[in-house]
Structure 1
Amino acid sequence: MARINLRPWREERNERLHKRFIGNIVGAALLGGLVVLGISYYYDVQMDRQNVRNNYLKGEIVKLDQKIREIQELRAKRERLLERLNAIQQLQGNRPVIVRNFDELVRVLPDGMHYDSLVRRDETITINGVAEQNNDVSELMRRLDNSIWFKEPDLRQVDKNEDVKNFNMQVGMTRPDAEEAK
């Protein structure tokens, strides 16, 4: 005998397929939701790590800015100290030169003359003096010109006063090399 199935097998099959389809959709939705949550969590973790790195870098930048300011302050302080040191060295270096210039003024002074006043302003000495003859003034100018410590003298004025000549001249100072000065 032939078997006849009177049950609605097509409806059962469609219902089974429908349940499987719904299960697959729910499973895919759950899997999709889990994937989205996982990706979101991963990006949140990565952003938190990057924020920690950024905060660390900002802190280090602040420290470096402070160190840069300290270095700039130290450089400025160093420059001020170097300027002071140079000024002191110039003053100490000029002391022997001034003494040497006055010593040279005495050496070039011819007999029969004397200085009334010597005024130094910057690199120029103004000399007021008394001479017995005009030739003595000329001799003083030649000697000053030949000296390595002075530039060419400039005679400003010669006045005859009784038997003596009053004169006024200016002469520039130089600094010879150490070998020339010996």
Structure 2
Amino acid sequence: MIEFVKINLLPYREEIKQRKKQQFKVLMLSALLIGAGMSALTYLTINNAISRQEDRNALLEGEIKKLDESLGEILKLQQEKENFLSKKQKVEELQDKRSQAAYIIDSLNVVTPDNSYLTALEAESSTSYKMTGRANSDNKIAMLMRSLPSTGVFAQPELLSIKKIDNYQEFTLKVLLNSSSRPSVPAQNPVINATEAGEQKQEVK
């Protein structure tokens, strides 16, 4: 009869089991370490990207601030330019008005007949004036009205009123400027006294 050899496999199986457990632990630890490393790498990458973006944002904010300052200076210069041009325009308008007034008065002094004179010249608009004066007769007033268009400054006048006061006639005329004589800027209703313009015609006795 053949005798069988008895072999105890329990230690071998236990060893394999322990080995597998050890391998599993190593794999788990490796996976944990790899996961932690990946997480750390991801965190560092994201943090680095955020830091770079913050630096770019800070740079952009600095440039925007510089642009705002430059824009403020430009707006300030523009405002100063507009103020200067406005003052310059006002000075030119004043010079034009003075020149226009002097030219009108000179023309009136030329055509005003003897024994008559103007007491006031009022601008009703940029093209219309009202004249007030006195003369010793209606003929003098008619002569003045006929002479005004010959100056080239005025159109045909319109007689608004006439009344006798003592020994003279007080009259009011409305006259329009010819287009070539109109001021380049609107008048602001100045009242010009004839005595302030220069030589005055002889007063009615």
Q: TM-score range by the shorter chain?
A: 0.7 to 0.9
What pairs with 1:3-152 in structure 2 (closer than 5 Å)?
Answer: 6=8, 8-109=11-112, 111-121=113-123, 123=125, 124-132=129-137, 134-145=138-149, 147-152=151-156
Q: Please give the per-residue CA displacement for 1:58-109, whole angstroms capped at 9, x wherever unaligned.
A: 2222222222222222222211111100011112223322221112112332
Deviates more, 1:35-44 or 1:97-106: 97-106
| TM-score for both structures, normalised by structure 2 | 0.71
Once superposed, what is the RMSD of the aligned Cα atoms?
2.9
Q: Which runs of 5+ in 1 are unaligned?
A: none
Q: Distance in 1 between matches of 2:20 and 2:132?
A: 127
Q: Residues 12 and 128 (structure 1 numbering): CA distance in 2 closer, same or farther, change over 3 Å?
A: same
The offset of 1:164, in angstroms, is: 4.2
Q: Give the 3 Å change call, closer, same or farther, for CA 16–3 of structure 1 in structure 2.
A: farther
3-state secondary structure, aligned to 2:154: coil
- Number of residue pairs matched by the alignment: 175
Shift in Å, 1:150: 2.5
Q: Which runs of 5+ in 2 are unaligned?
A: 183-205
Higher helix share: 1
Paired residues of 1:131 and 1:167 also in contact (CA < 8 A): no
Distance, in Å, in 1 between the alignment partners of 2:118 and 2:99 is 23
Q: Relative contact order, CA 8 A, sep 6+: which one is greater?
A: 2
